[in-house]
Amino acid sequence: MMAMLPSTIFAEVRDELAKVSEMRELLRSDDLPPLDSLEDCRASIRRLQIEASILATSEFHMLLLALRTFRKLAVFFAKREEKVPLLSRLGGSIFNDKALEFHIEKVIDDDGNVKDSASRELHQIRREMIEKSGYLRRRMEAILQRAAEEHLVMEELLTMRDGRMVLPVKSEYKRQIQGFVHSTSATGQTVYIEPMETLELNNDIRDLQFAEIREESRILQELGNRLRPHSAEVIQALAVYSELDSLSARARYALHSLGCIPDVHLKNTLTIQQGRHPVLLMLKSLEKTIPLDITIGDEVTTLVITGPNAGGKSVAMKTVGLLSLMVQSGIPVPCGEVSIFPIYTNIFVDIGDEQSVENDLSTFSSHVQRLSEIIAHADAKSLVLIDEIGTGTDPAEGSALGAAILEELTLRQAHVIATTHHGMLKVFAHEHDRMENAAMEFNLDTLQPTYRFRFGLPGSSYAFEITRRYGMPSVIIERAQQLSGTQSNSLEQLLAEVERQSHDLNTKMLRAKQDEKKFRLLSEEYTSKLASLKKEAKEMKRQVLLDAQKIVSESNALVEKTIRELREQHASREVIKRTKETLQQLGKTVEAELKSARTEKFPSDTGLKESFSPGDWIAMKSNPSTKGVVVELAGDHVIAVFGSMRVRMERGELMKLEVPTNPHQCSVIMPETTPSGELDLRGMYGDDAVKELDTYLYNAYTAGLKRIDIIHGKGTGALRKRVHAFLQDVSIVDSFRLGEWNEGAAGVTVVFLKN
């Protein structure tokens, strides 16, 4: 209903983004507000504000739908005050009046017509109309039947003309039927006659029709009088509805584009992390849209972007401008959560060519005109975007003019992003404070732009390389290099070499970060396993001590029992003495064993305890000839593969083997082919799906896959829940999540396996 404009007031922008955030949370939980589609009825309400005005029945029906929606919205947000306080405050301000709904419903039906029950008079009029119309039709059908038997009519069909029922009579027989001619057909062969004998009856029906119109007008005028005092409140409610509808649309865009609600602040610093051009994001997928990382403010307020043609300089600049405007309009933006936006009071743009013969403007003149306006109004709260600064005139003079303009804007502390191909401006930005070079990356191996933004280094235009790629003869390119001058050519070669070295350095840094992450995970895994081993050894030591104490206790009981039995059997003193000495020696032996158990060095102390790891060869202690491979560790149990069977056994039932010299002699059947990166479980029952997933995870892990996609479909969600419950208990699974909007959304689960 209303145009959306960016705001320059910090509090407004912050509150608008906060309301969008609340609406997004509602949509995420499928808690949709009842924003039924409404027509814009403001014109009808303004006409209603005029005294004695009457609205059409369709307009009253439109108002009824609006009032119903207002009431449902008020009830919806009143129940969610704690969950969405800002939206609840907005929804609570919307006008709703059940009494007004009742009065309209009493008069207007669902088809937008006045009900028979709207008044007693209208009901009586319409009943008489039905009765007389039925009587008239029977009379006319009788007349038509007689005329048809005499072949006077064109067809046996009654017709309406001017609201009156007539007969279609052949023109040559029109004088044989007494009555009034209402009209003639286009061919002149048919004359429509109202018979004299039904004239009075037709007049009565017409009078009733006029009476119906008058009564409907009276009813509608009375209804309008009831609504008129609330017209301003209804218009205000429509404005609130419009705002809620806008918030819903912006929240849906955030979910669709994976956009975030960035931080806004009063500081003069712009930080965009993983920002994407919103239009490119709609046209391409998330992976095919190269993200932009850029920071302006603090030490650097002016960026000079260089690089090849069609390399993405203008796109990067426009991305900054569009995202800034979206944020200040309260729209979520496709960028990272850590992005920070200031509030700009002005955004100045000089992009494109507006030359005009009529206004006597050349390309250079149009640029100068816009740049003059920018210089006249730009300040520290301004964002200035200038495409190809200094073009359209002599390169030396254009470069000098561009440098002076950038210097002035930098002194004013405006945020400036300018693109150029002039080498002088690259040097100028490098030598001046608060200015910095930036470039769009170019792959010299493929002679293709990568569209990646690099901060801190100027870029080459690669004019000769790009020209060669498009088929320009080598002789022309070589001559152009000669004409360009040694100094200029050397500078371009230097920039190309710097870019190549920078690209190599970035690649090495990326690999170093990946290795660092890998070693950190290995270290964490080692620490975790060591802690687990110590805990296991401690438990084993405790169990040994308990067993030894049990032996001592049983031995003492045995001694007492033996002595008691000997006495009962009247054994000689010498026999009792020898028996007692034997039992005492047994007790000393047990005590020695107990002491040994207490002082024994366990693997937790020495670090030499045998443990199992995925990939170890093992055998059953009860049947050493049966060999297998450890697949997974599960607490005190080991999951292993023996032949084609996958079993779960306690650690104590297994013993570790050396790696066989010929693994094929063992009975383990390993997968012969590398599994694909996805598993489709759609259409399978829960138990069958889990069994299939279990085997697939083992094959994928042993094949070295890091990521796999489990396709389970959306449906009722039962299969997805069963898959997630199973994945939580699998130790080789590092993490998992639902697919993003371009990966299959809730119909796919993305699983990341441990290294």
CATH code at 264-479: 3.40.50.300
Predicted local confidence at residue 286, as pLDDT: 81
Instruction: Evaluate if residue 646 carries a pLDDT over 70.
Output: no
Residues facing 76 on adjacent strands = none
Mean pLDDT for the chain overall:
81
Rounded to whole angstroms, how far apart are CA atoms 372 and 243?
Answer: 38
Rounded to whole angstroms, how far apart are CA atoms 371 and 350?
Answer: 7
Q: 115 and 215 in contact (C-beta within 8 Å)?
A: no
Residue 419 burial (CB count, 10 A): 25
pLDDT tens, 409-423? 999 999 999 998 887
CA 134: distance to chain centroid?
Answer: 62
171 — pLDDT class (breaks 50, 70, 90): confident
Instruction: Evaluate if residue 577 carries a pLDDT over 80.
Output: no
Instruction: Evaluate if residue 695 carries a pLDDT over 50.
Output: yes
Concatenating the DSSP letter of every residue in 209-262 gives: HHHHHHHHHHHHHHHHHHHGGGHHHHHHHHHHHHHHHHHHHHHHHHHHHT-B--
Strand order in the sheet with 707-711: 678-680, 707-711, 748-753, 733-738
728 — pLDDT class (breaks 50, 70, 90): confident
498: its two tokens: 């710097």
Q: Which of 181, 172, 57, 65 is nearest to 122 (CA)?
A: 57
Which helix (H) or strand (E) is 169 found in, with range?
strand 164-170
CATH of 12-152+195-257, one of 2.60.40, 1.10.3470, 1.10.1420, 3.30.420: 1.10.1420
pLDDT tens, 249-285? 999 999 998 889 999 998 889 999 999 999 988 888 8
45: its two tokens: 């309400």
Residues 100-127 as b or e (16 or more Cβ within 10 Å = b): bbebbeebbeeeeebeeebbeebeebbe
Rounded to whole angstroms, how far apart are CA atoms 88 and 23?
Answer: 11
Of 135-149, 343-357, 460-474, 548-562, give the range with the top mean pLDDT: 135-149
pLDDT tens, 190-219? 888 889 888 888 889 889 999 999 999 999
Strand order in the sheet with 302-306: 346-350, 382-386, 415-419, 302-306, 435-443, 448-455
pLDDT tens, 112-123? 899 999 899 999
2 by DSSP, 3-state: which? coil
In sequence order, the 6+-apart residues with CB closer than 8 A to the CB of 202 are: 136, 164, 165, 194
More reliable by pLDDT, 307 or 181? 181
Q: 143 and 152 in contact (C-beta within 8 Å)?
A: no
pLDDT tens, 277-329? 999 888 888 888 888 899 998 789 999 998 777 677 888 999 999 999 999 99
Rounded to whole angstroms, how far apart are CA atoms 524 and 130?
Answer: 89
Concatenating the DSSP letter of every residue in 628-682 gives: EEEEEEETTEEEEEETTEEEEEEGGGEEE-PPPSSGGGSS----SSPPPSEEE-T
Predicted local confidence at residue 323, as pLDDT: 95
Assigned CATH topology for domain 678-753: Ribosomal Protein S8; Chain: A, domain 1 (3.30.1370)
Helix axes 363-377, 395-411, angle to 10 degrees: 20
Rounded to whole angstroms, how far apart are CA atoms 113 and 124?
Answer: 17
Rounded to whole angstroms, how far apart are CA atoms 353 and 55?
Answer: 51
Instruction: Evaluate if residue 601 carries a pLDDT over 50.
Output: no
203 class by beta-carbon count within 10 Å (0-12 exposed, 13-18 middle, 19+ buried): exposed
Amino acid type, 464:
F
pLDDT tens, 133-161? 899 889 888 888 888 888 888 888 888 88
Residues facing 633 on adjacent strands = 638
747: its two tokens: 């119909």
Give the pLDDT mean for 498-505: 64
Of 124-138, 556-570, 636-650, give the range with the top mean pLDDT: 124-138
pLDDT tens, 65-90? 999 999 999 999 999 988 999 999 99
Helix axes 120-149, 199-227, angle to 10 degrees: 150
Which DSSP category does 600 fall into? Answer: P
Concatenating the DSSP letter of every residue in 357-412 gives: TTTTB-HHHHHHHHHHHHHHH--TTEEEEESSTT-SS-HHHHHHHHHHHHHHHHHT
Q: How many degrees, rounded to 5, is the angle at CA 89 between CA 86 and CA 95?
A: 145
Instruction: Evaluate if residue 544 carries a pLDDT over 80.
Output: no
More reliable by pLDDT, 604 or 268? 268
CA 126: distance to chain centroid?
Answer: 57
Predicted local confidence at residue 84, as pLDDT: 92
Indicate whether this model's pTM tops 0.75. no
